[in-house]
Amino acid sequence: MRGSRRGTSPGSATSALRHGTAFLPGGLLRRADGGAGLRFRRPGSTAICPGGRLCKPRYFAGQLASISWRRRRAPAGWRQKGPPWQGGAGEEGPMRAVFGIAMAWLLWSGLARAEFPDRPVRMLYGFAPGGSGDIAARLLAEAVSPRFGQPVVVENRTGANGLVAAEAAAKSAPDGHTVLFCTTGNMTIVTELPGLRLPVNPAKELIGLAMMARTTFGLVVSPDSPWHGVNDILAAARQAPGQIGYASPGIGSVQHLSTELLKQKTGTDMVHVPYRGSQPALLDLVSGRIGFTITNLGDTIGQIRQGSLRLIGLGDPLAQTFFPDVPLIARDVPGFETYAWFGLCAPRGLPESVIGRWEAAVRQAVEEPRVREKFMENGLVPRFADSAALNALMEENRATFRGVIQAADIRAQ
| Residue 321: inside a domain | yes
- The domain tally of the chain equals 3
| Residue 151: inside a domain | yes
Based on the domain organization, do 220 and 296 belong to the same domain? yes
Q: How confident is the model at residue 132 (pLDDT cuts 50, 70, 90)?
A: confident
CA 184 to chain centre: 16
Please tell me whether the overall predicted TM-score, pTM, comes out greater than 0.75 for this model. no
Based on the domain organization, do 365 and 294 belong to the same domain? no
| Residue 253: inside a domain | yes
Based on the domain organization, do 246 and 174 belong to the same domain? no
Residue with the larger pLDDT of the pair 264 and 14: 264
Residue with the larger pLDDT of the pair 63 and 190: 190
In the prediction, which pLDDT does 260 show? 98
Q: How confident is the model at residue 70 (pLDDT cuts 50, 70, 90)?
A: very low
Please identify, among 112, 131, 156, the residue that sits at the C-terminal boundary of a domain: 112
Based on the domain organization, do 329 and 373 belong to the same domain? no
Based on the domain organization, do 67 and 126 belong to the same domain? no
Based on the domain organization, do 236 and 331 belong to the same domain? yes
Percentage helix, strand, coil for the chain under 3-state DSSP, each rounded to 5: 40, 20, 40
Q: What is the DSSP secondary-structure string of 194-209? A: TTPPPSS-HHHHEEEE
In the prediction, which pLDDT does 277 show? 85
Three-state DSSP class for 266? helix
The domain in which residue 224 lies consists of: 216-339
Please identify, among 316, 339, 362, the residue that sits at the C-terminal boundary of a domain: 339
Residue 69 has pLDDT above 60, yes or no: no
Please identify, among 46, 77, 112, the residue that sits at the C-terminal boundary of a domain: 112
| Residue 105: inside a domain | yes
In the prediction, which pLDDT does 175 show? 96
Based on the domain organization, do 376 and 352 belong to the same domain? yes
| Residue 143: inside a domain | yes
| Residue 8: inside a domain | no
Based on the domain organization, do 263 and 294 belong to the same domain? yes
Based on the domain organization, do 106 and 148 belong to the same domain? no
Q: What is the DSSP secondary-structure string of 356-389? A: HHHHHHHHHHHH-HHHHHHHHHTTEEEEEE-HHH
Residue 152 has pLDDT above 90, yes or no: yes
| Residue 173: inside a domain | yes
Name every residue whose Cβ is closer than 8 Å to that of residue 396 and which is 6 or more positions away in sequence.
none
- The mean pLDDT value for 91-101 works out to 56
Q: How confident is the model at residue 103 (pLDDT cuts 50, 70, 90)?
A: low
| Residue 6: inside a domain | no
| Omega within 30 of 0 (cis) for the link into 369 | no
Q: What is the pLDDT of residues 279-320, one digit of tens each?
A: 899 999 999 999 999 999 988 999 999 999 999 999 999 999
Name every residue whose Cβ is closer than 8 Å to that of residue 321 and which is 6 or more positions away in sequence.
216, 376, 381
- The mean pLDDT value for 325-335 works out to 97
Based on the domain organization, do 327 and 349 belong to the same domain? no
In the prediction, which pLDDT does 373 show? 96
Residue 339 has pLDDT above 60, yes or no: yes
CATH of residue 381's domain is 3.40.190.150
In the prediction, which pLDDT does 306 show? 94
Based on the domain organization, do 353 and 245 belong to the same domain? no
Based on the domain organization, do 193 and 288 belong to the same domain? no
In the prediction, which pLDDT does 30 show? 41
